[in-house]
Amino acid sequence: MYTNICRGLFEKDKQLYSFLIATKIALTDKKINAKNWNYFLRGAGATASDIESQLDKPEWLPAQ
């Protein structure tokens, strides 16, 4: 399956695809915890509530 998907990807995208598969496997196996993963993605000072407060939500979009 990996080979078939990679046939349609550019070389630069194959590395990203491999990284995402490897991290998803590690998250599933609990080798990476969610807190560390969020720190890696968002940086040191950002929390989920900080990021949500910075987004401009349209008024027609419900809070849920």
More confident residue, 23 or 58: 23
Assign 46 a pLDDT band (cuts: 50, 70, 90): low
Whether residue 42 is predicted with pLDDT greater than 90 in this model: the reply is no
- The rounded Cα 63 to chain-centroid distance in angstroms is 22
Q: How far apart are CA 31 and CA 64, in angstroms?
A: 31
Residue 11 and residue 42: Cα distance in Å, rounded?
26
* pLDDT of 57 strictly over 90: no
- Name the percent of the chain lying above pLDDT 70: 67
Query: Residue 18 contacts by C-beta under 8 Å, 6 or more apart in sequence?
Result: none
Three-class DSSP category at 54: helix
Q: Which residue has the tokens 């969020």?
A: 38
Greater confidence, 9 or 54? 9
Only one residue has tokens 């995208």, namely: 13
